[in-house]
Structure 1
Amino acid sequence: MSTERQLAEQARAWPFEEARKIVARLGGADVSKTPAKGYVLFETGYGPSGLPHIGTFGEVVRTTMVRQAFRRLSDIPTRLFCFSDDMDGLRKVPDNVPNKEMLAAHLGKPLTSVPDPFSNEHPSFGAANNARLRAFLDSFGFDYEFQSGTDWYKSGRFDPMLLAMLRHYDEILAVMLPTLGEERQQTYSIFLPICRKTGRVLQVPVVKIDPDAGTIVYRDEDGSLVETPVTGGNVKLQWKADWAGRWFALGVDYEMYGKDLIPSAELSARIVKILGGRPPEGFNYELFLDQEGKKISKSKGNGLSVEEWLRYAPPESLALYMHQQPRRAKRLYFDVIPRAVDEYLSLVEKLPKEEPARVMENPAWHVHDGKAPEHHAGGVSFAMLLNLAGVAHTDDKDVLWQYLRRYVPGATPQNAPYLDRLLANAVAYYVDFVKAHKKFRLPTPAERAALADLADTLRRLPEDASAEFIQNEVYEAGKRHFAQAELRQWFKTLYEVLLGSEQGPRMGAFIKLYGRDNVVHLIDRALAGDDLGEAA
């Protein structure tokens, strides 16, 4: 057994815990065998009635992390299907699309039968959103295979599963009906016929089933009785039965889902067992919250979009945020970004130095599939860059690079593109969220004495003093004026008086970045009662 596999078997990170569930499903590490289909199948689902959103990213990146962990535990081939339920009927017109009146005329039709409202570039609304999903996933470099529900239904690949559903129709109804209201029970059917006259997906009662013929008879909206095969794309399944049917037909081994779908997953698992299949291993994650603590919703548009996150931070920081504590409800709003970026930078810096037994516990290992990335930020944090923009009173990236060269000698936008992009992210975040909220205060008499002492100390420091040496001198200056228990307040004083913020970076690193003389000038201005919120 390789050293990596031994370490993987002991790793406690949640993707490895999930991966070991799959190994156990296959018979355990010693006797695990390849499934009859030839691979282990991971799946994520997507409803293309709207544009891809941050939940889609979260589900794919988390599933990918489990898949990566499984590869360290087993040599069995794996595949990841991103399945689009694009034969679902268009229930309502989304708020964030053009040509709403045109779409309204096609309500009820399968998404792949509704015209493209964007540019007629694609044959349907479903196809247009599927293309956006694939472009979205491709932009992050995910290794996946796109699957279309419409294709599976119309190609006949779902036919054996649909006929099995028909044979077990009454048993499946017995599972579903107790979960429905009394009125809904009267008309419920697991099969939704596609109307031959209107092309709409019908929610109508089924009055007769014929498993031998593979047909159902339903009462159409005009009251007439219509017989139709359940095969060949003439029907689609209701949501929970559809999920179960997909698991059964594809042989899905692993799928995760939001906490709100736990009851649906449990029902779908029961249906799979009725069909004679085995439900996949599952993982339920907590939902994200907006700035008010409410669940984010694709239709409401609250919370934060992937595009918004990427305006202010690198994609790896978002992947890290998705990795951390997936079973805990977390706010997903703009104010979480700076800390997420700095946590990512810190973890990446530690990754090459980790002990072998701990490397797979580092979340950056999961973000980068075990490979330490070549990019680096030269020890510069996002918080430092935000404060640099604030004290320099500029959103000009070129001006800020003049300071960066002092901290990372020899670095340029050309030879340090990651740092350059991080600076652009920080400038955008500073302008949009920090600049208007900077609030400087004047020092108290006790603080004035300590600040004057610090200024004198900095003047005596050599130009090439290290950030760590400077940090120690800042600490010592505080100790000369404040009791040990008050030293936290000393650093808070520096943040509030010099940076206009309640929190800030390590002062030694910041002084090194901004420049010793520039910080002395800031202190002198503060002692003179100047408004540091304005450029000198």
Structure 2
Amino acid sequence: MSDLRDLAMQSKAWPFEEARKLLKRVQGKTPEKGYVLFETGYGPSGLPHIGTFGEVARTTMVRRAFETISDIPTKLLCFSDDMDGLRKVPTNVPNREALAEDLNLPLTDVRDPFGTHDSFGAHNNARLCAFLDSFGFEYEFASSTEYYRAGRFDEMLLKALAEYEKIMEIMLPTLGAERQATYSPFLPVSPKTGHVLQVPTLERNVEKGTIVYEEPDGERVEVPVTGGNVKMQWKPDWAMRWAALGVDYEMSGKDLIDSVTQAKKICRALGKPAPETLTYELFNDELGQKISKSKGNGLSMEEWLTYASPESLSLFMFQKPKTAKRLFFDVIPKAVDEYHQHLRAFPDQDDKARLTNPAWHIHAGQPPQSDMVVPFAMLLNLASASSAEDKDAMWGFINKYAPDASPETHPGLDAAAGYAVRYYHDFVKPAKQFRAPTEQETAALLDLRERLGQWTGPLDAEELQSMVFAVGKEHGFEPLRDWFKAIYEVLLGASQGPRFGGFIALYGLPETMALIDRGLDGSLRTEA
């Protein structure tokens, strides 16, 4: 075993902890199917969202960690529950009237309201695959409809029929009295209407592999449970899929804890070991309320990617998956800068430290070099001070600070400059509140301006920061952070901001002096 593998076996990074659980599950040997199977599930009645990204990204992190501690082949299956019946018409699609006519059909039999695919399920599956491909995930796509209709679940469906009573014993105590009276783990697909029916099972014939149910018109119908003639209720379906495919690992949100518990029991009732699972916490909005797709609170995938890179989102997903976190716009700048801090730290770390560095897990052990010579928080303040309308304006300042940088040589910085301008205009600018300086602050700012005018040294961030410190001390600010708070509130319209020496180096001496003039004469407050 290599030194890296030895270190990985001891690493406390959560993907390695999960990987070691999985290695223990398979007893260090390749399963009979020839690989360790990771799975993520997807309900294709809606479009991929930030939770979809998080689940696939985190599962991929565990997969790569497992591949580091083991030579056992792996596979990631992204499974679409596209045989589910359409229970309600989504509000965000065209041609809703036509879709209403297809209620209760499997999603793969519902017409595509966008008119681009054979069905609504196929449309959303294509969106899912395009979504995953855009982030470079390595996966195999699976369609529930295809698996059911091709007979890939037949053996386990017959086993479920044989173990019907055990499944009912597991499920019925979890249901209310009204649901108990009509519940069946099997949902027949009506040969008359094609609808996925939620009706009781009236008879079972294990030898024939059939069930009998009653159609809405009163006719009793016998159908085989194989060949796509039935679909299982979702908790038994989840368990049946685990058992049929030999799923070894799947993670899910805290809201599915009960579902995981029941599915594991059913999987064992079907004679197969349940997979290793991880329960992750759900995201909250800025008010601490759980994010809901129907409410539309919190932050969407598209919104994050409007203001920051996907790698920064991967970092957010990596950090403390078992801890509830606020997912709102104000977490983005911190995530961007932390991501690049991890990239910059990586080259100088030993192997043990690298294995705990989030950059290792985001990039499967091969993180790129950071080209962010200016932190994202500083770019935001630069956009604010210069009222930048586009990233070209930002580069005029960046080149004074880093003359060798360009959009071609620093594409990450170039993208970040564009993100910063958008973020500034949408979130920072509307919240800016400039105030007038006190007498003490006015005297200190005039002193700072005079020293900047007399500055003959290089635009070194640390030397300029020391000079700003000295001004604050000489003018009696106690604690000294009140001096910096005054700078931010008077000159930048915020109560906190960047290291001001670095800001001066980036923005420029004449520009900073002009900014002080505008802060002192009240024009910043007038413009705001």
Tell me the TM-score normalised to structure 1 length. 0.96
Separation in 1, partners of 2:473, 2:45: 61
> After superposition, what is the alpha-carbon deviation per residue over 1:262-316, rounded to whole angstroms, capped at 9, x for unaligned?
1100000000111110111010011111233222222332221111111111111
> Structure 1 residue 461 and structure 2 residue 463: aligned?
no
1:118-133 matched pairs, under 5 angstroms: 118-119=114-115, 121-133=116-128
- Find the counterpart in structure 1 of residue 272 from structure 2: 277
> 1:393 touches 1:534 (CA, 8 Å); kept in 2?
no
Deviation of 1:172 after TM superposition, in Å, equals 0.7
Deviation of 1:533 after TM superposition, in Å, equals 6.1
Separation in 1, partners of 2:200, 2:518: 79
AA matched with 2:462: E
Deviation of 1:394 after TM superposition, in Å, equals 2.5
Q: Given the alignment, which residue of 26, 37, 47 partners 1:41?
A: 37
> Structure 1 residue 25 and structure 2 residue 19: aligned?
no
- Find the counterpart in structure 2 of residue 206 from structure 1: 201
Deviation of 1:225 after TM superposition, in Å, equals 1.0
- Find the counterpart in structure 2 of residue 79 from structure 1: 75
> After superposition, what is the alpha-carbon deviation per residue over 1:145-180, rounded to whole angstroms, capped at 9, x for unaligned?
100000110000000010010010011101101111
Separation in 2, partners of 1:477, 1:533: 27
Larger CA deviation: 333-342 vs 36-45: 333-342
- Find the counterpart in structure 2 of residue 403 from structure 1: 397
> Structure 1 residue 302 and structure 2 residue 320: aligned?
no
AA matched with 1:91: R
Deviation of 1:197 after TM superposition, in Å, equals 0.7
Deviation of 1:129 after TM superposition, in Å, equals 0.1
- Find the counterpart in structure 1 of residue 65 from structure 2: 69
AA matched with 1:115: R
Separation in 2, partners of 1:471, 1:251: 60
SS at the partner of 2:480?
helix
**Percent of pairs with identical residues:** 60
Q: Given the alignment, which residue of 116, 132, 141 partners 1:137?
A: 132
Structure 2 alignment gaps of length 5 or more: none
Deviation of 1:191 after TM superposition, in Å, equals 0.3
Deviation of 1:181 after TM superposition, in Å, equals 0.8
> Structure 1 residue 11 and structure 2 residue 4: aligned?
no
> 1:83 touches 1:146 (CA, 8 Å); kept in 2?
yes
Q: Given the alignment, which residue of 129, 151, 155 partners 2:150?
A: 155
> 1:168 touches 1:275 (CA, 8 Å); kept in 2?
yes
Larger CA deviation: 339-348 vs 303-312: 339-348
AA matched with 1:340: A
Larger CA deviation: 70-79 vs 472-481: 472-481
1:436-475 matched pairs, under 5 angstroms: 436-462=430-456, 464-475=458-469
- Find the counterpart in structure 1 of residue 502 from structure 2: 509
> Structure 1 residue 477 and structure 2 residue 479: aligned?
no
Separation in 1, partners of 2:459, 2:524: 29
SS at the partner of 1:42?
strand
1:359-438 matched pairs, under 5 angstroms: 359-378=354-373, 380-438=374-432
> 1:522 touches 1:532 (CA, 8 Å); kept in 2?
no
> 1:288 touches 1:295 (CA, 8 Å); kept in 2?
yes
Larger CA deviation: 406-415 vs 319-328: 406-415
Deviation of 1:460 after TM superposition, in Å, equals 3.2
Q: Which 4+ stretches in 1 moved above 6 angstroms?
A: none
> After superposition, what is the alpha-carbon deviation per residue over 1:503-532, rounded to whole angstroms, capped at 9, x for unaligned?
211212111110122112222332334326
Deviation of 1:375 after TM superposition, in Å, equals 4.6
SS at the partner of 1:206?
coil
AA matched with 2:52: T
Deviation of 1:457 after TM superposition, in Å, equals 2.8
- Find the counterpart in structure 1 of residue 283 from structure 2: 288
Q: CA RMSD in A?
A: 1.4
Deviation of 1:230 after TM superposition, in Å, equals 0.2
1:484-495 matched pairs, under 5 angstroms: 486-495=479-488
Deviation of 1:218 after TM superposition, in Å, equals 0.8
Separation in 1, partners of 2:300, 2:222: 45
SS at the partner of 2:108?
helix
- Find the counterpart in structure 1 of residue 252 from structure 2: 257
Deviation of 1:452 after TM superposition, in Å, equals 2.3
Separation in 1, partners of 2:258, 2:94: 35
Cα gap change, 1:472 to 1:355, in 2 (>3 Å)? farther
Deviation of 1:472 after TM superposition, in Å, equals 2.0
Q: Given the alignment, which residue of 512, 515, 518 partners 1:522?
A: 515
> After superposition, what is the alpha-carbon deviation per residue over 1:70-108, rounded to whole angstroms, capped at 9, x for unaligned?
111111011000000000000101111111001100000
Cα gap change, 1:465 to 1:37, in 2 (>3 Å)? same
Separation in 2, partners of 1:58, 1:141: 14
> After superposition, what is the alpha-carbon deviation per residue over 1:413-445, rounded to whole angstroms, capped at 9, x for unaligned?
222221111111111111111112211112111
> 1:187 touches 1:204 (CA, 8 Å); kept in 2?
yes
Separation in 2, partners of 1:82, 1:462: 61
Structure 1 alignment gaps of length 5 or more: none
Cα gap change, 1:398 to 1:172, in 2 (>3 Å)? same
Larger CA deviation: 457-466 vs 145-154: 457-466
- Find the counterpart in structure 2 of residue 117 from structure 1: 113
AA matched with 1:517: P
